[in-house]
Structure 1
Amino acid sequence: MEHQDISIKPYATRFGLAFGGASILVLLLLYVFQLEQNAGIGILNLLINTAIVFYAIHLYKNDNAAQLNFSTALKIGLAIGAIGGLIYAVYTYLHYSFIQPEFIESMKTEALTAVEAEITKQKMEGEQAEMAKSVALLFTTPFVIATMGLISIMLKTFFISLIVGLIKKN
């Protein structure tokens, strides 16, 4: 008799919500305590994210009669990343649009300063200079920052689930 795998949906939902919540909590703590992103916070965040994905895959394997294949581990990790990433992206957009819009303004100022220095250095003129400025400003919008956060989380959970899947597979 062949073994039937259980659904990954409850694991993805539960741990995706936890992943999104943990990511939002880190952003809120950085804002409340007026901290800059640094290596220590980045490593702590990575450890928490790894623990969430690892535990989800571990629980799935235990609940699935100790059966886990590599592709299922990847699916669980990516589903957690998709759910958690979407939650985080929505919050990030709202955070930088309404709670901390001054961060976006300072990013725009820094980007324009850097682009204008590059324009001067490369002696750009007219349309080319305006295009460089508009591209720089495009990457400093809350939507693009939220989208980059989603992509970052998806890549992070892919690599975490890749490693955990290799470790935990049968």
Structure 2
Amino acid sequence: MQHQDLPVKPYATNFGVIYGGYSILIMVLLYAFNLESNTAISIFNFIITVAIVWYAIHLYKIDNEGQIDLTTSIKLGLAIGVIGGLIYGGYNYIHYEWIEPELITEMKMTNEAEMEALIERQQMSEEEAQMTRDMSGAFASPFTLATLSLLSIIFKTFLVGLIVGMVKRNN
């Protein structure tokens, strides 16, 4: 009799929503208390990411009669990342578009100053200079920040799912 694996979707949905909610909570707290992200906060966030993905994989393995393979662990990590990342990315866009738009303005001004210094140093032609200015402005937008947040979360949860899967898989 062959073993049937449980579907990943309920675990990914539950833990993805938890991860997205946690990420939003941290962003709101950092904004509310006017804190900048620092190394300690980054390490704490990574530990929480590992804990969420590890616990989802752990519960899946228990509910699946102690069976899990590396592919399922990676799928679970990625699915948690996609769901949590979409939730967080959506809030991230809203946050930088309507709640804290001054950060985007500040980023654009900083980028423009850096680009002008670069243009001066490299003595670019007017065409190259305009292309450089246009590209720098594209990276300082709420959509770009939200997209980069989504991709970052997906990458982190993929790595965590891979590592936890290698540890917890059945040989």
TM-score (norm 1): 0.99
Mapping of 1:117-128 within 5 angstroms? 117-128=117-128
- Paired position in structure 2 for 1:5: 5
Deviates more, 1:125-134 or 1:64-73: 125-134
Q: Within the alignment, does 1:164 sit opposite 2:161 as a pair?
A: no
Percentage of matched positions with identical amino acids: 52
Amino acid at match of 2:121: K
Q: Which runs of 5+ in 1 are unaligned?
A: none
- Paired position in structure 2 for 1:63: 63
CA distance in 2, matches of 1:88, 1:98: 15
Deviation at 1:124?
Answer: 1.2
Amino acid at match of 1:159: L
Amino acid at match of 2:168: K
Deviation at 1:30?
Answer: 1.1
Deviation at 1:29?
Answer: 1.1
TM-score (norm 2): 0.98
3-state SS of 2:37 partner: coil
- Paired position in structure 2 for 1:51: 51
3-state SS of 2:91 partner: helix
Mapping of 1:1-170 within 5 angstroms? 1-170=1-170
Amino acid at match of 2:103: F
CA distance in 2, matches of 1:31, 1:117: 31
Aligned length: 170
Amino acid at match of 2:17: L
Deviation at 1:16?
Answer: 0.2
Q: Which runs of 5+ in 2 are unaligned?
A: none
Amino acid at match of 1:134: D
CA distance in 1, matches of 2:28, 2:161: 26
Deviation at 1:125?
Answer: 2.7
CA distance in 1, matches of 2:55, 2:154: 17
Deviation at 1:157?
Answer: 0.3
> Which contiguous aligned blocks of 4+ residues in structure 1 show a shift greater than 2 angstroms?
none
